[in-house]
Amino acid sequence: MFCQSCGREIVEPATVCPNCGAPLRGIAPPGASSWKPVEHVSGAWYLLPLFFGIIGGIIAWAVNRDKDPGRARNLLIFGVLWTVIPTVLIASAVFLYYAPAPAPGP
Ligand SMILES: [Zn+2]
């Protein structure tokens, strides 16, 4: 027989699909009612924080947090790091470059 969810062939006495975890038809394993198909969140979502930094990370997180909390969190972390790390590097470089000069001011 084949899995109703992912289509992989399953050897019989299995009650759940070894590939995706879906319960097999006609058999109700414990917790079957609470089983939800895992929605695939595309890796293309990483483009959002890549181009828009922390803003893109927050948007990607907000859109995907219900579908895949783990990946949503990674997208947010990626967006934050992708914004903070270059900012810190640039700020450090600017600071080191200008540090010896007297600070302009009144
Ligand atoms: Zn399956």
Instruction: Give domain limits for the chain.
Output: 1-35, 43-98
Written as one string, the DSSP assignment of 7-55 is --B--TT-SB-TTT-PBPTT---TTGGG--PPPPPPGGGGHHHHHHHHH
pLDDT of residue 40: 78
Q: Which residues surround ligand 1, an ion (CB under 5 A)?
A: 3, 5-6, 17, 19-20, 22
Per-residue pLDDT at 60 exceeds 70: yes
DSSP letter (8 states) at residue 87: H
Count Cα atoms within 13 angstroms, Cβ side, for 28: 3
CB atoms within 10 A of CB 54: 17
Select from 24, 27, 70 the least CA-distant residue to 45.
70
State the distance from the centre of ligand 1 to the C-alpha of 74, rounded, in angstroms.
26
- Give residue 24's pLDDT: 74
Provide the pLDDT for residue 102. 63
